[in-house]
Homo-oligomer: A and B are copies of this chain.
Amino acid sequence: MPSTSYVDLVSPKVTSKSLPAVLTIAGLDSSGGAGIEADIKTINAHGVYGLTCIAALTAQNTSGVEAVEQTSIEHLRKILKKNFEDFIEGYPGDHPLKVVKTGMLTEAAATVLSENVDYLNKNDVKIVMDPVMVSTSGVTLTDNKTVQLCFDKIFPSTYLCTPNYVETVQLYQAKKGKAPELKTLADLEKIIVELQQILECQNVLIKGGHIPWTKDGQLSEDKAGDDLVIADVLYESQADKITIFRSPYIVLNNTHGTGCTLASSLSSNIAKGLTLLQAVPLSVNFIHSGMLSLSLKLGHGHGPLDHTNIANSSVQSVIKGSDTIAKDLKDNHGGALGYFKNHKVVKDNWKRYTEHPFVELVATNKLPFDKFLFYLKQDFYYLVNYAQIHGLAALVAPTYEQIHAQAEVIDNIMKEIERHKAKLLKKYNVDFDNADLDSELQPAKPCIEYCDYLLKAGKTQDFLGIKVALAPCLHGYAEAGVFGQGVRSKHDGSLGVLSSEDESEVYGSWLDDYTSDWYTEAHELGKKVLDDTIAGTGVSEQRLDELVEIFNDVTLLEISFWDEIVNSL
């Protein structure tokens, strides 16, 4: 008889989420590096649900294509029908399918897609077309009939078309009868506008591939040199706006499937609701990471890239910072905090937060004491999370001093909790010595949302982004303290709704805390860390906008936190 043993497993802890979906119509590369398999890997790595419609099955590997079996038009029709029934139709609210992405199309696939483009446009499903016409090995993959269907019906319904240089020339030539002249980046600016007019699609991204440019925008003949860049060029026709994304030029072997992967990554980012200006740098970063991360090349031809990296979801780490902007913040805005809180998006919210009615009610003894205790419990729960995110900040801190500074902040927060919150709550019969934080403190929705936001920032942001997410709490309470003291100084000293001097003293000392020396010191230190961090790495305009958004999001979360109390009165 065999021996038997038991192993008991626990239920997994998961964060509940909903997934947007992308459907990819393309050929399938059985060696897994390109086509539908690359698409599915990429889409999944972006936290998006992938569906497929296979136009053809190839027998291929990294060295070449051996055979192709096309899917019949009837079967393609059935596949799309089943997928649309399940992912577009019958949802009470938004349907999950946001983007249809195309790669290599057979005539049958182009026909079935062209039958459906009006339906997709009507249902707000965006079409992203990667106009795959020639394989890396030089084989023409698309016949004339298919090309004609694309021009007549599909391109004009397309949200984004993503040709590489070779495809750009082919598409241009098909309509203009001659190849475009391309020697400088300025030529490319002209070409992309003409191409958009030819295709009649909404946006065009000409993929830089591995064509090196000099810094001043000339095609480089030799393929070496530190100063060379590659350029991905985006034209948004509605805004009439060209954006040129430059990346360092690196010679790489793992290039099999880069085109498919970039288009799938873009489709995923678009499905998640990002703008093209956000999506393009993130997607370029995703394929560059995938090309760089494999130490063992797979296959014997052009190796596939690595799709197992988690897709970056913050533009910060992919765009080069500018020293000029960092200097401007310091010289003209009183540092980063000054810039954020006075930014037009934030300014009114910042005032709503730092002069919140909650503070006024406390300062004038008009907040019922049980409401204040409820606030303290919420704040206790929040502060524990707040301290933990500083732990994460210590992990990713770029300098030695900043690691230490994070530890000091945690220490301060824990002491604040212990001295002021825990003691006070205990005094008023709320005991946490052995409390399970979640069940005992029962965090309300605004508190949970705030903590979730910080944790998400901790997972997706760099040190600077995390510090900005933590900033409104630190600095806002300092300003709210000053505001409250101002109000209290004019107060008549009456007990208001409170029942004892003791309670009034609690309110007074709460305000004293945030105007105390130690708090003011922490407030000043926090400002310095923000400024030093920005000075250390520089910041791009786009990144600065992201930071403003984070600062504003958190300011709104602070307002909700206090609104919860005030609205319950």
Q: Report which A residues bind B (CB closer than 8 A).
A: 2-12, 14-19, 21, 28, 30-32, 37, 40-41, 44-45, 47-54, 57, 59-63, 66-67, 69, 71-72, 75, 78-79, 81-83, 85-87, 90, 96, 189, 193, 235, 240-248, 250, 277, 281, 284-285, 288-289, 292-296, 298-301, 304, 306-310, 317-320, 384, 387-395, 397, 400, 403-404, 406-408, 410-411, 414, 417, 437, 458, 540, 542
Do B19 and A294 touch across chains, with their CB atoms under 8 A apart?
A: yes
Which chain B residues lie closer than 8 Å to A391 at the CB level?
390-395, 397, 403, 406-407
Q: Chain A at the B interface: mostly helix, strand, loop or mixed?
A: mixed
Do B32 and A59 touch across chains, with their CB atoms under 8 A apart?
A: no
Complex Cα spacing A307 to B245, Å: 32
> Given the interface contacts A241-B3, A406-B391, does A30 sit within 8 Å of B59 by beta carbon?
no
Which chain B residues lie closer than 8 Å to A246 at the CB level?
6-9
Q: List 10 A-B contacts (CB under 8 A).
A: A5-B243, A7-B243, A7-B277, A8-B320, A30-B82, A31-B87, A85-B300, A384-B403, A392-B395, A410-B410
> Given the interface contacts A3-B242, A395-B392, does A306 sit within 8 Å of B17 by beta carbon?
yes
A364 CB to closest chain B CB (Å) equals 33
Do A50 and B41 touch across chains, with their CB atoms under 8 A apart?
A: yes
A300 CB to closest chain B CB (Å) equals 6
Which chain B residues lie closer than 8 Å to A394 at the CB level?
387-388, 390-392, 394, 410
Which chain B residues lie closer than 8 Å to A7 at the CB level?
243-246, 277, 281, 319, 540, 542
Whose C-beta in chain B lies nearest to the C-beta of A84? B61
Closest 3 CB pairs of A and B: A391-B394, A18-B296, A407-B410
Do B244 and A5 touch across chains, with their CB atoms under 8 A apart?
A: yes
A162 CB to closest chain B CB (Å) equals 17
Supply 17 further A-B pairs (C-beta < 8 A) apart from A54-B57, A390-B394: A8-B319, A8-B320, A9-B285, A9-B320, A10-B317, A10-B319, A12-B292, A14-B289, A14-B293, A17-B295, A30-B52, A30-B54, A41-B50, A66-B78, A387-B394, A391-B392, A406-B410
Do A12 and B288 touch across chains, with their CB atoms under 8 A apart?
A: yes
Complex Cα spacing A404 to B246, Å: 45
Which chain B residues lie closer than 8 Å to A304 at the CB level?
49
A240 CB to closest chain B CB (Å) equals 4
Which chain B residues lie closer than 8 Å to A83 at the CB level?
30-31, 61
- This protein's copies in its complex: 2
Partner of A245, one of B9, B51, B408: B9
Complex Cα spacing A14 to B311, Å: 12
Whose C-beta in chain B lies nearest to the C-beta of A2? B240
Do A293 and B53 touch across chains, with their CB atoms under 8 A apart?
A: no
Which chain B residues lie closer than 8 Å to A15 at the CB level?
293
Whose C-beta in chain B lies nearest to the C-beta of A233? B4
Partner of A86, one of B28, B62, B318: B62
Do B52 and A75 touch across chains, with their CB atoms under 8 A apart?
A: no
Which chain B residues lie closer than 8 Å to A21 at the CB level?
32, 298
Do A67 and B61 touch across chains, with their CB atoms under 8 A apart?
A: no
Complex Cα spacing A550 to B483, Å: 53
Complex Cα spacing A386 to B403, Å: 11
Do B309 and A31 touch across chains, with their CB atoms under 8 A apart?
A: no
Partner of A410, one of B47, B53, B288, B403: B403
Partner of A5, one of B8, B242, B247, B294: B242
Which chain B residues lie closer than 8 Å to A400 at the CB level?
384, 417, 437
Partner of A48, one of B48, B79, B308, B408: B308
A243 CB to closest chain B CB (Å) equals 5
Do A51 and B32 touch across chains, with their CB atoms under 8 A apart?
A: yes
Which chain B residues lie closer than 8 Å to A417 at the CB level?
400
A94 CB to closest chain B CB (Å) equals 9
Complex Cα spacing A275 to B53, Å: 36
Complex Cα spacing A407 to B6, Å: 39
> Given the interface contacts A9-B320, A240-B3, A411-B411, does A52 sit within 8 Å of B78 by beta carbon?
no
Do A388 and B414 touch across chains, with their CB atoms under 8 A apart?
A: no
Which chain B residues lie closer than 8 Å to A5 at the CB level?
241-244
Do B12 and A318 touch across chains, with their CB atoms under 8 A apart?
A: yes
Complex Cα spacing A317 to B60, Å: 40
> Which of A18, A32, A247, A404 has the most chain B CB within a 10 Å cutoff?
A32
Do A320 and B407 touch across chains, with their CB atoms under 8 A apart?
A: no
Which chain B residues lie closer than 8 Å to A407 at the CB level?
387, 391, 407, 410-411, 414
Do B403 and A414 touch across chains, with their CB atoms under 8 A apart?
A: yes
A169 CB to closest chain B CB (Å) equals 21
Which chain B residues lie closer than 8 Å to A458 at the CB level?
395
